[in-house]
Chain A
């Protein structure tokens, strides 16, 4: 076998192996998307009921709470960025990071300090590489987040917002995550989580403008709100984590699908080239044989005479 042909054969073998791997990853990601989507759906009843309850307290009483009151001058904002632990997901992480950076720029232009909190090793690596300060980070659960993970993330954030600004607390909390719109579309977006605007929550809970009943609060409206709001924030963060996970798997699936397609294309081109090389080799061998025998025939014909 000629050298050229051998090189082509070797490359085809290597690309075929890669294709097998990316195909497997695509299929794993596809099954994980479905699972992640199911988790998003399963968490919806809790979120809906919680939103209703928050609306009920918010509209049924004039209670003031640090989580719902807008600070007069916002000195410091917290940005929570949700990324994934692993790459191979196309532009998933860089999109989320880009949105977070735009948000940070905008907030800084408004004269606010920005505290960054990060979920996922990818985002953390990006910030560490640029030597930017990260207040706190979590990783290790982004593929399959549980409610306990959401609680772990929400804890320090709620603490920071309840602290006085002078002592290092924050006035606002923004969250950057990737919304799972559909299997094909996922958009990175930012959302202000706190202070909570009760009017917006109310719009979400009662879209048809239905009137909520007058509730009897047990033990009191303040206590209920105190207990309710942190849970609401946790549930929102949980939802964002789940959506990010689903989006990540969908992005991985898409990236791996195009990798598999590209590998297939590469194999076709390489096989064509290999075939051409083989043909060229055969042609050359034939012409060598023909040439050789013609020369031999010429030589013998000459000696005969």
Chain B
């Protein structure tokens, strides 16, 4: 049996996803980081970006995460985010509209949020 780590992806108002995984890739302020079972205890600041979770049954879960933290200890990984959405929860059309609107208005942070959503949504489709 491959080694596993327990992942909990929590948003401020709900638990978005939790389960066993073999690999988690997230974007911290100093670059992408991959966490596998047995990683050294880690606490990092997340950037707005997609998080990829390879579950133990081989499936891939992608979520769009906007700001937050990653913490790993005792084979338990928590991803804390103010806003987090799984790729299949994302409304692609709405995100596209948001992206256009943000580009038109020059709102860089909104543009980035919409872009992250779109990338997370298209990664699994």
- Chain A residues engaging chain B, CB cutoff 8 angstroms: 39, 42-43, 45-46, 49-50, 52-53, 56-57, 146-147, 150-151, 212-219, 223-224, 227-228, 231, 234-235, 238
Contact B43 A45 (CB under 8 A): no
Residues of A within 8 A of B42 (CB): 215-218
Judge whether A223 and B15 touch: CB under 8 Å.
Answer: no
Cβ 8 A contact of A219, one of B14, B28, B71: B28
Could you say which residues of chain A place their CB within 8 Å of the CB of B10? 45-46, 49
> Do residues A218 and B80 form an inter-chain contact, with CB atoms below 8 A?
no
Q: How near does chain B come to A206, taking the closest CB pair, in angstroms?
A: 12
Give the chain A neighbours of B78 by CB distance below 8 A. Answer: 49, 52-53
**Which residues of A are found within 8 Å of B73, using beta-carbon distances?**
56, 212-213, 215
Q: How far is the CB of A66 from chain B (nearest CB, A)?
A: 18
Is B108 interfacial (CB-CB < 8 Å)? Answer: no
Q: In B68-82, which residues have CB < 8 Å from any A CB?
A: 68-71, 73-74, 78, 80, 82
Interface residue from A57, A224, A238 paired with B12 (Cβ < 8 Å): A238
Q: Are A227 and B41 in contact (CB under 8 A)?
A: no
Chain B residues near A223 (CB, 8 Å)? Answer: 29, 45
Q: Which residue of A lies closest to B69 (CB)?
A: A53
User: Is B11 interfacial (CB 8 A cutoff)?
Assistant: yes
- The distance in angstroms between the C-alpha atoms of A45 and B30, with both chains bound, is 26
> Is B103's beta carbon under 8 Å from chain A?
no
Q: Is B80 within 8 A of A53, CB to CB?
A: yes
On whether the beta carbons of B43 and A57 are closer than 8 Å, the reply is yes
Q: With A39-B13, A56-B71, A215-B41 as given contacts, are A49 and B28 in contact (CB-CB < 8 Å)?
A: no
**B13 to A218, Cβ gap below 8 A?**
no
Asked if B13 and A53 make an inter-chain contact with CB atoms under 8 angstroms apart, the answer reads no
Closest Cβ–Cβ distance, residue B27 to chain A (whole Å): 11
Question: Could you tell me if A147 and B43 are in contact, using CB atoms closer than 8 angstroms?
Answer: no
Known contacts A53-B78, A56-B43, A217-B42; 4 additional CB pairs below 8 A are A46-B80, A216-B40, A224-B69, A231-B80
Inter-chain CA distance A150–B12, complex, in Å, is 10
Q: A227 and B13 in contact (CB under 8 A), knowing A46-B80, A53-B80?
A: no
Task: Report, nearest first, the 6 A-B pairs whose CB atoms are least far apart.
Answer: A218-B44, A147-B12, A213-B41, A215-B43, A219-B30, A215-B41
Q: Closest Cβ of chain A: how far from B98's Cβ, in Å?
A: 16
Contacting residues of chain B (30-84) with chain A, CB-CB under 8 angstroms: 30, 33, 40-45, 68-71, 73-74, 78, 80, 82
Cα A235 to Cα B40 with chains together (Å): 27
Do A217 and B44 touch across chains, with their CB atoms under 8 A apart? yes
Known: A56-B43, A219-B44, A219-B45. A231 touches B82 (CB 8 A): yes
Bound-state Cα–Cα, A170 to B14, Å: 32
B63 to chain A, nearest CB (A): 15
Instruction: Looking at the assembled complex, report how far the CB atom of B65 sits from the nearest CB atom of chain A, in whole angstroms.
Output: 13
Cα-based distance from A92 to B46 in the complex (angstroms): 40
Q: Verify B12–A217 contact, CB threshold 8 A.
A: no
Whether B25 is near chain A, meaning CB under 8 Å from some CB there, is: no
A residues within 8 A CB of B82? 147, 151, 231
**Cβ contacts under 8 Å, B44 to chain A:** 217-219, 224
B28 CB, min distance to chain A CBs, angstroms: 5
Partner of A52, one of B11, B15, B71: B71
What are 7 contact pairs spanning A and B, CB under 8 A? A42-B15, A49-B78, A49-B80, A53-B43, A56-B43, A215-B71, A218-B28
A218 and B28 CA atoms in complex are apart in Å by 8
Of the listed residues A53, A146, A147, A218, the one surrounded by the most CB atoms of chain B closer than 10 A to its CB is A218
In the complex, which residues of chain B have a beta carbon less than 8 angstroms from the beta carbon of A215?
41-43, 71, 73
A266 to B11, CA, bound (A): 50
Closest Cβ neighbor of A235 among chain B residues: B12
